Amino acid sequence: MMKKISYLALLFGALAFTSCKQTQEVIYDPANVEILVLNDSSKAQSAAEVRMYDDLDAYSNSKENGVYEGFTAKATTDASGKVTFTKLNPDKEYYFLVEYRDRARFVDLNNYDNTFKFTKNLSKGSNSFAEIQLNQAKSVVGFYVPANMQSNLPVKLYLINDTSAITITSITNGVPTTPTQSGVKPYRFSAGTTNWYAKSYKGCFWSGQIKVGTTESFTPIGLSACYAGSVGFKADSLNKNNLPIKVTLNNADVIGTIYAVAKNGAVTFEPNVISAARDTGTYNYTAESLKSNCVWQGKVKITNGATQVIVLPKCN
Amino acid sequence: MKKVILISTFIINSLVGYSQLERKLAITAAVAMPSFSAAGNIQSENIYKGYSGLPGLRVGLQYNFNHNIGVGPIVSQYFGSKPNYNLTMTQFGLGVKYNILPFDKVISPFITAEADLNYVTVSQKANSVTEVPASNSDKEEIVLTSQVRNYPEIKTGFGNTGVVLGAGTDFTLKKKYTLFVSASYLVTNALKTFTSTSLFTENKSDLRFLILQLGMRFSFGQSKSLY
B225 in a structural domain? no
pLDDT of residue B44: 87
B67 in a structural domain? yes
The mean of the pLDDT values for chain A is: 89
Tell me which residue of A160, A45, A126, A255 sits closest to B128, measured CA to CA. A126
- DSSP codes joined into one string, B185-207: EEEE-GGGSHHHHHHSTT-----
Residues 6+ apart with CB under 8 A from A263: A270, A271, A272
pLDDT of residue A2: 53
Tens of pLDDT, residues A231-281: 999 999 999 999 999 999 998 999 889 999 998 888 888 888 998 889 899
The domain of B182 spans 2-220
Run of H or E residues at A156: strand A155-159
Residues 6+ apart with CB under 8 A from B155: A20, A21, A22, A23, B121, B122, B123, B124
pLDDT (mean) for B111-134: 92
The mean of the pLDDT values for chain B is: 87
Confidence band for B1, pLDDT divided at 50, 70 and 90: low
Best A123, A131, A133 residue to mutate vs chain B (most B CBs within 10 Å): A123
**Is B202–A119 a contact, with Cβ atoms under 8 angstroms apart?**
no
**Domains, chain A, with CATH or none:** 31-136 (2.60.40.1120), 139-222 (2.60.40), 229-311 (2.60.40)
Asked whether B94 and B11 are in contact (CB, 8 A), the reply is yes
| pLDDT(B112) > 80 | yes
Give the count of beta carbons closer than 10 Å to the beta carbon of residue A119.
14
B143 in a structural domain? yes
pLDDT of residue B221: 63
Torsion of CA B213, B218, B224, B227, to 10 degrees: 40
pLDDT (mean) for A171-184: 95
CB of B121 within 8 Å of any CB in chain A? Answer: yes
Chain A closest CA to B30's CA: distance in Å?
14
Tens of pLDDT, residues A25-84: 777 888 999 999 999 999 999 999 999 999 999 999 999 888 889 999 999 999 999 999
The more confident residue out of B88 and A160 is: B88
CA distance B176 to A263: 100
B18 in a structural domain? yes
| pLDDT(B224) > 60 | no
B186 in a structural domain? yes
A90 dihedral zone (left: phi>0; alpha: psi -120 to 50; beta): alpha
pLDDT of residue B226: 37
B42 in a structural domain? yes
B193 in a structural domain? yes
Give the count of alpha carbons within 13 A of A302, CB side only.
23
Number of independent structural domains in chain B: 1
Confidence band for B155, pLDDT divided at 50, 70 and 90: very high
CA A220 to the chain's CA centroid: 22
pLDDT of residue B2: 58
**Is B16–A115 a contact, with Cβ atoms under 8 angstroms apart?**
no
Preceding omega of B34 cis (within 30 degrees of 0):
no
Nearest to A114 among B75, B140, B147 (CB): B140
CATH code at B133? 2.40.160.20
Report pTM. Answer: 0.69
| pLDDT(A145) > 80 | yes
Q: Give me the residues paired with residue A212 across strands.
A: A192
Tens of pLDDT, residues B135-145: 778 899 999 99
Q: Residues of chain A with pLDDT > 70: what percent?
A: 93
CB of B8 within 8 Å of any CB in chain A? Answer: yes
CB of A129 within 8 Å of any CB in chain B? Answer: yes
CA distance A269 to A250: 20
pLDDT of residue A4: 54
Q: Give A28-92 as a 3 state SS string.
A: CCCEEEEEEEECCCCCECCCCEEEEECCHHHHHHHHHHCCCCCCCEEEECCCCCEEEEEEECCCC
Run of H or E residues at B113: strand B107-124
B227 in a structural domain? no
pLDDT of residue B23: 42
Tens of pLDDT, residues A192-223: 888 888 988 877 889 888 999 999 999 999 99
CA distance A233 to A47: 28
Give the count of beta carbons closer than 10 Å to the beta carbon of residue A297.
10
Q: Which residues of A touch B57 (CB under 8 A)?
A: 12
pLDDT of residue B80: 95
Asked whether B109 and B99 are in contact (CB, 8 A), the reply is yes
